[in-house]
C-alpha cells in the first residue's frame, strides 16, 4: 500500500510540474513601462522580473550585483536599447548564458522620432520625422539621434505588445494562446486609453509649457501639445547660462504657463526660475517612478501625465 501511495504522489508531482512548467520561464525587463506590458502579457503564466525598481532613472543607473545575477539567469531579456540604458550595454554583451535579448528600440514598425534640435527653445516644434523598419546599418548610424522614450505613444505600445507576444509564444509555444489573448486585451485597452487621452488633451492643446528635459515628444506629438522647450538638453550635464537666460526671458514675457519637473531629479532650479512669477510648477513622470510595478502601471503612468498636464495648464 505504501509503495502504491508513493507512486501516486510522485505521479501527481510530475503532472503538476509539467502543467506549471511555464511558471519557470525566467524573463527580465529593464524599466517599468516595458515591464508593465510584459507583465500584462504574461498574466496568469509567470511573473517577469524588473531591474530598475523604485524612484530610479535609466539615464544614470549603475548595475548592482543582484541585477547582474538576474541577467545571467534569464531566459529572455527585454530592454530599451543603448540610447536609453547605457548601463546595460556591457553586461548584455558578456552574458554567459545564451538568453534571448530583445531591444524594444529595434522592433520593426515603431514610429521613432529624432531628438529635437538642440536649440529647441521658445519655438514650438512638432517633428514628424518618423523612422520605420530601419535596417541594421541605418540603426547603427542613427541610434544616437533617435529619442528612446517611444513608449509614450500608445500606438508604439501596441506594436511593442505584439512583438512581446510573438517572442514569448516562440519561446514558450505551450502558452501561445494565453499570450495571444492577453495581448489582445492589452491592445483593446490601449485603444481606449488613446481615445480618452485625445479628448482630455484637446482642452489644453493651446497652452505652452517647459519641461526639465525633452522626454515627452512622443506624447506631445500624439496629442498635439505645445512644449516650448526643455531646461536642460542632457540630464548628466550642467545647465548653461545662455539657456537659463532664455528660460528667464520666456517667463518674463509670459510665454509659458507651467514648468514641469521630474520626481527623480532636484526641483531647486525650477523653483528658483519661477520664484516671484505667475508661472506654475508641475511634475511629469515618464517612467512611473512612484507607481507599483505590474500590468496596470503603463495605463496609470499615461493617465497621470494627463492629470499633471491638465492640473498645471488649466
pLDDT tens column, 61-94: 878 888 889 999 999 999 999 888 988 988 998 8
Task: Find how far residue 80's CA is from the centre of its chain.
Answer: 8
**Cell numbers for 282:** 508641475
Whether 1 is in a domain gets the answer no
> How many structural domains comprise the chain?
2
Q: Are 142 and 177 members of one domain?
A: yes
Q: Are 65 and 174 members of one domain?
A: yes
Which residue is it, cell 506590458?
37
Q: Are 301 and 218 members of one domain?
A: yes
State residue 130's pLDDT score. 46
- The answer, yes or no, to whether residue 136 has pLDDT greater than 70, is no
Question: Any idea what the CATH number is for the domain that residue 146 is in?
Answer: 3.40.50.1980
Whether 222 is in a domain gets the answer yes
Q: Are 183 and 207 members of one domain?
A: no
State residue 37's pLDDT score. 98
Q: Do 35 and 293 touch, CB atoms closer than 8 A? A: yes
Q: Are 293 and 159 members of one domain?
A: no
Question: pTM for this one?
Answer: 0.85
State residue 6's pLDDT score. 45
Determine phi and psi for 258, rounding to 5 degrees: -155, 150
Q: Are 192 and 206 members of one domain?
A: no
Instruction: Give the domain extent around 214.
Output: 202-313
Q: Are 161 and 287 members of one domain?
A: no
Q: Are 43 and 185 members of one domain?
A: yes
Return the SS3 of 60: coil
Q: Are 289 and 166 members of one domain?
A: no
Of 168, 197, 226, at which residue does a domain stop?
197
Q: Do 35 and 297 touch, CB atoms closer than 8 A? A: yes
Q: Are 167 and 232 members of one domain?
A: no
Of 197, 224, 246, at which residue does a domain stop?
197
Whether 118 is in a domain gets the answer no
Whether 130 is in a domain gets the answer no
Q: Are 53 and 166 members of one domain?
A: yes
Q: For 84-88, 240-244, 293-297, which range has the lowest pLDDT when averaged over its residues?
A: 240-244
The sheet that has 112-114: what strands, in order across it? 130-131, 112-114, 146-147
Of 172, 197, 222, at which residue does a domain stop?
197
Whether 163 is in a domain gets the answer yes
The overall average pLDDT reported for the chain is: 84
Q: Do 203 and 219 touch, CB atoms closer than 8 A? A: no
Whether 112 is in a domain gets the answer no
- The answer, yes or no, to whether residue 138 has pLDDT greater than 80, is no
Tell me the C-alpha distance between 309 and 314, whole Å.
8
Query: Of 218, 223, 227, whose CA–CA distance to 201 is shortest?
Result: 223
Whether 276 is in a domain gets the answer yes
Q: Are 240 and 174 members of one domain?
A: no
Amino acid at each position: 500500500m505504501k509503495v502504491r501511495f508513493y507512486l501516486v504522489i510522485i505521479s501527481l508531482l510530475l503532472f503538476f510540474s509539467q502543467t506549471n512548467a511555464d511558471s519557470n520561464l525566467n524573463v527580465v525587463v529593464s524599466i517599468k513601462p516595458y515591464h508593465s506590458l510584459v507583465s500584462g502579457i504574461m498574466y496568469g503564466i509567470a511573473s517577469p522580473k524588473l531591474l530598475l525598481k523604485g524612484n530610479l532613472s535609466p539615464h544614470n543607473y549603475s548595475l548592482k550585483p543582484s541585477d547582474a545575477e538576474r541577467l545571467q539567469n534569464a531566459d529572455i531579456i527585454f530592454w530599451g536599447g543603448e540610447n536609453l540604458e547605457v548601463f546595460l550595454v556591457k553586461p548584455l554583451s558578456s552574458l554567459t548564458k545564451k538568453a534571448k535579448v530583445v531591444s524594444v528600440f529595434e522592433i520593426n514598425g515603431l514610429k521613432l522620432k529624432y531628438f529635437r534640435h538642440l536649440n529647441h527653445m521658445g519655438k514650438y516644434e512638432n517633428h514628424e520625422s518618423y523612422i520605420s523598419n530601419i535596417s541594421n546599418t541605418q540603426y547603427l548610424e542613427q541610434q544616437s539621434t533617435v529619442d528612446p522614450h517611444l513608449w509614450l505613444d500608445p500606438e508604439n505600445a501596441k506594436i511593442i505588445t505584439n512583438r512581446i507576444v510573438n517572442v514569448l509564444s516562440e519561446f514558450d509555444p505551450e502558452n501561445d494562446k494565453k499570450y495571444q489573448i492577453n495581448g489582445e486585451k492589452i491592445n483593446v485597452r490601449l485603444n481606449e486609453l488613446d481615445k480618452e487621452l485625445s479628448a482630455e488633451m484637446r482642452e489644453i492643446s493651446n497652452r505652452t509649457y517647459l519641461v526639465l528635459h525633452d522626454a515627452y515628444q512622443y506624447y506631445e506629438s500624439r496629442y498635439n501639445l505645445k512644449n516650448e522647450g526643455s531646461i536642460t538638453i542632457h540630464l548628466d550635464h550642467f545647465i548653461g547660462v545662455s539657456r537659463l537666460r532664455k528660460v528667464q526671458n520666456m517667463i518674463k514675457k509670459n510665454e509659458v504657463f507651467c514648468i514641469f519637473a521630474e520626481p527623480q531629479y532636484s526641483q531647486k532650479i525650477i523653483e528658483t526660475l519661477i520664484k516671484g512669477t505667475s508661472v506654475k510648477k508641475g511634475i511629469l513622470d515618464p517612467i512611473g517612478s512612484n507607481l507599483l510595478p505590474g500590468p496596470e502601471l503603463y495605463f496609470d503612468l499615461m493617465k497621470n501625465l494627463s492629470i499633471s498636464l491638465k492640473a498645471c495648464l488649466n
